[in-house]
Amino acid sequence: MSRPNVVWITLDSVRADHTNLNGYERETTPFLRELADDAAGTAFRQCFAHSKSTHPSSGAILTGTPPTHNTVGVSGEKLPEAVPSVAERLGAAGYRTACISRNSYVSAATGLDRGFDRFQWLSSSTMHQLHPVTLLKYFANIRSHSAGLALDTAKHASPYLMNDTAKRWLSDFEAEPDPFFLYVHYNEPHRPYYPPNSHLERFTDEIAMSADEAAEFAMEFHYNLDEMIANGCDLTDDEWEAIFALYDAEIAYTDHMVGRLVDHVRSLDVGETIFVVTADHGELFGEHGLLAHSYVLDAAVTHVPMAVHGLDDLAADPDDIVQHADVMRTVVERAGGDTEGMVGTDLRAESPPFAVSQRGPVDFDDLLSYNSGFDADRFHRPTLTALRTDRFVYQRSDEGADLFERPDETTDVSDQYPAVVSELDETLSAWLAENGRPADEGRTGDFSPSKKRQLEDLGYL
């Protein structure tokens, strides 16, 4: 059997229920729907991320191991040497490996560049590293593919630059015989929800605000997020409509750019290619009185889109629960790579029985600084692990445990289902003992000033 190329595309901050893969009414992801609906495609409608934010979720995707094991974004910032990356596994199997990332959490700072033959972390500080023709084309198209001449770097979009860089690398791959693994992390539609000019009015004709008014409020929302959370997420209906319109427009633009990249790969003489398009995490829009993607492991931040194309003979059903590690393990197995130490299930053989998501310790100091009356006691503060089945979500930390009956993830039903609590607690304990132990002490990341600046633009710092 021939070894396929692998193109894995991760979108940032995309909720499954805002995509056409999961029945959303707006046309946000027509390309992903087309990719999944093809005879060789599948949409897994119950894909759950391993965590709630880019740092730990990307560590899990790019190693096929849980956050508490690889420690990235939980007890450490950088991947331990003891944990092999997927790029290293595929490189050892004869693959050429390349990654383009627009997020500092997927960079040399976190060790997630390890194993890639080519790696480009993209920011305003590294644009000079790109091909001069790529830069000329970008600036010629900056009014349609970004925010024009805006000085606020948080407003600018990068998929055009990423696609053109990827196309140049793919031209080299086409000229060589070995298969390739290309990993692309698009930062859109991460906050701030500020789509390129070409998509700014995509959905604003349906709302009370004008496109410019909505964009202005989106930036206010971005820069005052913690204060808004601390004071109860008290947005008007018009303000919520503006946020959803621009968030959806960012998804639609990114879907368009993903389609252009996939179509380009298909136009090349590179042989069979597996495509995976997913998101690292979702986004909170008022669930638990929260915004963005901190603090909780609710479906709003863990339920993500998953479109796969080119993986044959899948035993898993589109409605089965799956995770990134399941898909990654299946891909690496299909590519002939070593999967020892990876968690997850080969989806060509069976479906996983449950999904496990984790996050590290959290504090609420920023929120409490705005409102000392903010009720932080309703949340777990230590490291939290959530086990999800078709019907229940059981989550546990050193502070205690909760049981939710889906889709309600706010009402603890532990007293109603003591037998379920006992069973899932035992299952979770066994899973943690086998898979969740730290591989090493947490390592400190190497975040340069420019990487920290990018994280500030994204609202992380």
pLDDT tens for 306-364 read 999 999 889 999 999 999 999 999 999 999 999 999 999 999 999 999 999 999 999 99
Amino acid 151: pLDDT: 67
pLDDT in tens, 285-311: 999 999 999 999 999 999 999 999 999
Q: What is the pTM of this model?
A: 0.95
Strands (E), 2-117: 5-11, 41-43, 46-48, 96-101
Computed over every residue of the chain, the mean pLDDT equals: 94
pLDDT in tens, 220-262: 999 999 999 999 999 999 999 999 999 999 999 999 999 999 9
Nearest to 259 by CA among 310, 301, 304, 307: 307
Residue 441 has pLDDT above 90, yes or no: no
Residue 246 CB contacts under 8 Å (≥ 6 apart), including other chains? 193, 194, 195, 200, 203, 204, 214, 215, 218
1 pLDDT band, cuts 50/70/90, is low
CA distance 66 to 64: 7
* Residue predicted with more confidence, 402 or 140: 402
Averaged over 45-59, what is the pLDDT? 97
The Cα-based distances of 158 to 39, 124, 163, 164 in angstroms read: 31, 10, 9, 10
Its domain, for residue 351, covers 5-384+437-457
Domain-located, residue 402: no
Q: In CATH, what number is assigned to the domain containing residue 323? A: 3.40.720.10
Residue 455 has pLDDT above 80, yes or no: no
Domain-located, residue 419: no
Amino acid at 323: Q
Averaged over 67-75, what is the pLDDT? 96
* Residue predicted with more confidence, 445 or 395: 395
Residue 202 has pLDDT above 80, yes or no: yes
Averaged over 203-207, what is the pLDDT? 94
Q: How far is CA 216 from the centre of its chain?
A: 26
Domain-located, residue 389: no
Amino acid 19: pLDDT: 98
Domain-located, residue 312: yes
- Do residues 165 and 100 touch, judged by C-beta distance below 8 A? yes
Domain-located, residue 395: no
Residue 148 has pLDDT above 80, yes or no: no
Residue 365 has pLDDT above 70, yes or no: yes
Amino acid 139: pLDDT: 85
Domain-located, residue 63: yes
Amino acid 135: pLDDT: 83
CA distance 37 to 253: 20
Residue 136 has pLDDT above 90, yes or no: no
Sign, CA torsion 455/457/460/461? positive
Domain-located, residue 227: yes
Q: How many domains does the chain have?
A: 1
Amino acid 358: pLDDT: 98
- Do residues 303 and 28 touch, judged by C-beta distance below 8 A? no
Amino acid 456: pLDDT: 74
Tokens in use for 293? Answer: 């993607």
Domain-located, residue 216: yes
pLDDT in tens, 18-46: 999 999 999 999 999 999 999 999 999 99
pLDDT over 70 percentage in the chain: 99
